[in-house]
A and B are shown apart, each in its own frame.
Chain A
């Protein structure tokens, strides 16, 4: 059963988790598993659910919690912004979402599967099949060209988008054969997005994607990410300390001191091209 999240077709089958958007953000597990109907437009399918998740580091005598008792849900196809100051636990949250780290306590469900029960191998498979990551510092492989960086995805997943297509989609068709060192920051970040998107992930995670970019370039990148969510119906989760980005999200999760401060749903998110900071 665990394996069915690796199979898109299977995962779209009957078992669908439901939340009521107007209801309380904390979900009752029993309620979640009740019957569902796809036709209900107000109701969306839950892709991810965190339940009482903690991440702690033992530092000898004192224990440090990077994340404490966090619970939240993320719906499929949403654009989610996780907001908070440095050290609040944003990155930890993102790492746990992406299966790049494991929780110390609690449960994380992705499409009905509990990631906290996954072995290292299954987590790797989860990342390869379901998650695309865009990093703050792009993290391209410096010895590979833009095209090759995207084509790298073919090594881990079968149904990837053609690298050329993926790069054209982010407006980089012309710079395809340049090495990262020959590109500007914006171009590198767009390559990084193309790489993340090329695998057709169900979850696109972005860690301060505009953190190293100027405002104009940053806006272009944001637009791109918003389009991914709106047009391609991908679930995009973006971590940032920049509260201006809250405006473009469907859901804004505020994090503070290792805990969830608030979850706010935005019925009419702004277009990324008009955001200013």
Chain B
């Protein structure tokens, strides 16, 4: 029978229980959604890595022979070693798409996953092309494509469409940050396809480590052993964590996980607070019933269990349904955005033990919270509980004692008292507003930050309209002529490896010639002049290497065996490229020869120029910007979730609060009515309190939103250095949005003032 009572009580207090239900549902939906998504992505990609034997250690250098393979094999713990020539080039037609070209031998390490066509063998002629690029450019198996590598041309028949675990994520040189697989090809060919076999030099060794020692620690040991075994300064030994594809996907997954936890923490906290206030009210209003049940001989435990099950049933239902929707709807939806950004076949959400644990723990916490909120009514003897509660001991607060108090009008006095005497309810109201405005600020702030990032990248740090990317063919003389012709600035962008203490990171070096298209900004984002006599390092890279201004750092160009030991004279910030920047003179003082890789110019560059061997592409800054924002879909999806969540959160919490305070105030409102207050006036009194709480909540929410945005920006990835930007419009949208939600919900309730029947409301409690 008590179960029947419970269902009917739940029905009778449906608005509040629905809101608790919704909060726990949302909390679990977001958590399980993001966790199933990120775990699923993690598990699927790991299976993929394993099945197609993703390389464990890469050794890069100027050239490797079969002797080198033997040297590597001699190091213990190594399963297999393979050589590879990895080059970049372009695909003729198809907009001269940028291409990663791998000449492989056996392809047992980082092997291809075949979608269509014939499987790769060592001796087969033809090319295996990445599937996304092929499909989107209408290239079929059997078609012939022409690949240009510097001055070499290869015509090859497409034998198969593939994906490769080493290329889950890749970007062309021109769009350094976001992938565009339609315009960036990946292909594999047998070594026999290389046109100039006489002079063929393999530049990579792929090392497959024995499974049992492929953990992080052993890999690091093995890397050291390999470095020793080769004893060559011109090689770079890197592991998966230094591999762009692996590291990017890994941090994406981690970031989603962190986001999931952050979101759900907000929701679940508020759901629990909802349970506290609602259960406290329900039990308080059922005080006599509790007394009756006790008098009838129900044990404390039975009664406790009865009331605990309210919170338990509701939150369990919310959590389980939320978890299910999260898994079935949200996870696939977010995974949908991986398509086009990451090339991982068969991505799907997977429920992990963590999801189950969190669901169960949330429900248990809800039960505990309900237990504590109804314990108050259960502790007294039934004789006491049967009587109405003794009036609250009311003390005059500091404000009420001060002279100022007498100067306040009635509604202000009434509201201050009401807030102070219902602290929990007021706190919950503020929290709801904080959550709402925080998520709005954070959501819109993300848009601002991305836009700010783009404006900075293509408007402040790099101010040229066009970028002519030079090929390996272009020598300094050619570049100089071109720079003069287009009044451009010569730039060399190259890969560098840094060492500081035990930390080893790869990054880039930018060497600039005279000109005014490249600018740098200091830590506080103020424009500064690049130091003419030394190197400057990006703030993010300095952080990763744990060095600061004035410290020394060891570095060398990739493919060059000479190590440099330089003092960092300047720290600057760059959102997208992490590494060092220096003037040409500084670079040449280190006895390197300046070899420009690009020319920046504001003059328009004719399309035909690309036909020259020395030029690989011409990039329009406007195109790069557009492509960049197009590829921010994943971020946008997150932002949508945040904004929707913010509004839902605001509505649900404030609605719940509205019901609570309205029910509690019914008698007071009725009394005011009897005394002759007009409905409109009472409404204003009620609205006043709401406005106060909303303003407090918004103030705190703006701050919290900035904090949340800051966390998201700083954890976004190793290579991106985003800074939180919140525009004036965002502040306005968030403040106005939160206010509207709050006022609208409150208006609904204060509208009920009219409907309160004075006589009914003032009748004795039954």
What is the interface of chain A, defined by CB distance below 8 A to chain B? 91-92, 95, 98, 100-102, 120-121, 124-129, 131, 133, 135, 137, 139, 141-144, 148-149, 151-157, 195, 199
B5 touches A155 (CB 8 A): no
Is B300 close to A, CB under 8 A? yes
- Specify the chain A residue showing the minimal Cβ separation from B297: A128
Chain B residues contacting A139 (CB-CB under 8 Å) are: 288-289, 291-292, 295, 386
Is B302 close to A, CB under 8 A? yes
| CB within 8 Å for A154 and B381 given contacts A121-B299, A128-B298, A141-B292 | no
| CB within 8 Å for A101 and B383 given contacts A148-B1, A152-B296 | yes
A156 touches B381 (CB 8 A): no
Query: Which 7 A-B pairs rank lowest in CB-CB distance, beginning with the nearest?
Result: A128-B297, A143-B8, A101-B383, A127-B297, A95-B383, A139-B292, A100-B382
| CB within 8 Å for A124 and B299 given contacts A148-B4, A155-B2 | yes
**CA of A156 to CA of B303, assembled, Å:** 11
Q: How far is the CB of B80 from chain A (nearest CB, A)?
A: 71
| CB within 8 Å for A144 and B292 given contacts A100-B386, A120-B300, A121-B299 | no
Q: How far is the CB of A209 from chain B (nearest CB, A)?
A: 14
- Specify the chain A residue showing the minimal Cβ separation from B288: A139
What are 15 contact pairs spanning A and B, CB under 8 A?
Answer: A101-B381, A121-B299, A129-B297, A135-B295, A135-B386, A137-B766, A139-B288, A139-B289, A141-B293, A143-B5, A143-B9, A144-B4, A144-B8, A155-B1, A155-B2
Interface of B is mostly: helix
Q: Which of B1-41 contact A (CB under 8 A)?
A: 1-2, 4-5, 8-9, 12
B1 touches A127 (CB 8 A): no
Is B384 close to A, CB under 8 A? yes
Chain B residues contacting A199 (CB-CB under 8 Å) are: 297
Is B294 close to A, CB under 8 A? yes
**CA of A115 to CA of B303, assembled, Å:** 22
A155 touches B298 (CB 8 A): yes
Instruction: Give me 12 other A-B pairs in contact (C-beta within 8 A), A142-B289, A195-B296 excluded.
Output: A102-B381, A124-B299, A124-B300, A127-B294, A127-B296, A139-B295, A143-B12, A144-B1, A144-B4, A144-B5, A152-B296, A199-B297
Chain A residues contacting B296 (CB-CB under 8 Å) are: 127-128, 133, 152-153, 156, 195
Q: How far is the CB of A184 from chain B (nearest CB, A)?
A: 14
B298 touches A156 (CB 8 A): yes
Q: How far is the CB of A247 from chain B (nearest CB, A)?
A: 28
Q: How far is the CB of B399 from chain A (nearest CB, A)?
A: 27
Q: How far is the CB of A59 from chain B (nearest CB, A)?
A: 12
Q: How far is the CB of B387 from chain A (nearest CB, A)?
A: 9
B383 touches A155 (CB 8 A): no
- Specify the chain B residue showing the minimal Cβ separation from A188: B766
A100 touches B294 (CB 8 A): yes
Chain B residues contacting A142 (CB-CB under 8 Å) are: 289, 766
**CA of A138 to CA of B269, assembled, Å:** 40
Chain A residues contacting B297 (CB-CB under 8 Å) are: 124-129, 131, 156-157, 199
Chain B residues contacting A152 (CB-CB under 8 Å) are: 1-2, 296
**CA of A199 to CA of B766, assembled, Å:** 25
A141 touches B381 (CB 8 A): no
B5 touches A101 (CB 8 A): no
What is the interface of chain B, defined by CB distance below 8 A to chain A? 1-2, 4-5, 8-9, 12, 288-289, 291-300, 302, 381-384, 386, 766
- Specify the chain A residue showing the minimal Cβ separation from B387: A91
A141 touches B5 (CB 8 A): yes
Chain A residues contacting B291 (CB-CB under 8 Å) are: 139
Chain A residues contacting B2 (CB-CB under 8 Å) are: 152, 155
**CA of A135 to CA of B385, assembled, Å:** 14
- Specify the chain A residue showing the minimal Cβ separation from B765: A137
**CA of A143 to CA of B295, assembled, Å:** 18
Chain A residues contacting B381 (CB-CB under 8 Å) are: 95, 100-102
Chain B residues contacting A133 (CB-CB under 8 Å) are: 295-296
CB < 8 Å: which of B8, B292, B382 contacts A101? B382
- Specify the chain B residue showing the minimal Cβ separation from A126: B297
**CA of A120 to CA of B378, assembled, Å:** 12
**CA of A127 to CA of B296, assembled, Å:** 6
**CA of A117 to CA of B295, assembled, Å:** 18
Chain A residues contacting B766 (CB-CB under 8 Å) are: 137, 142
**CA of A95 to CA of B302, assembled, Å:** 21
Which of B288, B295, B381, B386 counts the most A-chain CB atoms under 10 A from its CB? B295
| CB within 8 Å for A124 and B8 given contacts A101-B383, A139-B288 | no
Q: How far is the CB of B298 from chain A (nearest CB, A)?
A: 6
Q: How far is the CB of A276 from chain B (nearest CB, A)?
A: 28
Chain B residues contacting A121 (CB-CB under 8 Å) are: 299-300
Chain B residues contacting A91 (CB-CB under 8 Å) are: 383
**CA of A213 to CA of B373, assembled, Å:** 36
B1 touches A124 (CB 8 A): no
Q: How far is the CB of A55 from chain B (nearest CB, A)?
A: 9
Q: How far is the CB of A199 from chain B (nearest CB, A)?
A: 8
B295 touches A124 (CB 8 A): no
**CA of A153 to CA of B298, assembled, Å:** 9
CB < 8 Å: which of B289, B295, B300 contacts A141? B289
- Specify the chain B residue showing the minimal Cβ separation from A98: B295
Which of A125, A127, A154 counts the most B-chain CB atoms under 10 A from its CB? A127
| CB within 8 Å for A100 and B383 given contacts A152-B1, A156-B297, A156-B298 | yes
Chain B residues contacting A124 (CB-CB under 8 Å) are: 294, 297-300
**CA of A156 to CA of B2, assembled, Å:** 11
**CA of A154 to CA of B8, assembled, Å:** 19
Chain A residues contacting B9 (CB-CB under 8 Å) are: 143
Q: How far is the CB of B571 from chain A (nearest CB, A)?
A: 68
Chain B residues contacting A92 (CB-CB under 8 Å) are: 383
**CA of A255 to CA of B8, assembled, Å:** 42
- Specify the chain B residue showing the minimal Cβ separation from A192: B292
**CA of A195 to CA of B302, assembled, Å:** 18
- Specify the chain B residue showing the minimal Cβ separation from A139: B292
Q: How far is the CB of A20 from chain B (nearest CB, A)?
A: 33
Which of A129, A144, A151 counts the most B-chain CB atoms under 10 A from its CB? A144
**CA of A91 to CA of B386, assembled, Å:** 11
- Specify the chain B residue showing the minimal Cβ separation from A148: B1
**CA of A98 to CA of B297, assembled, Å:** 10
**CA of A139 to CA of B288, assembled, Å:** 7
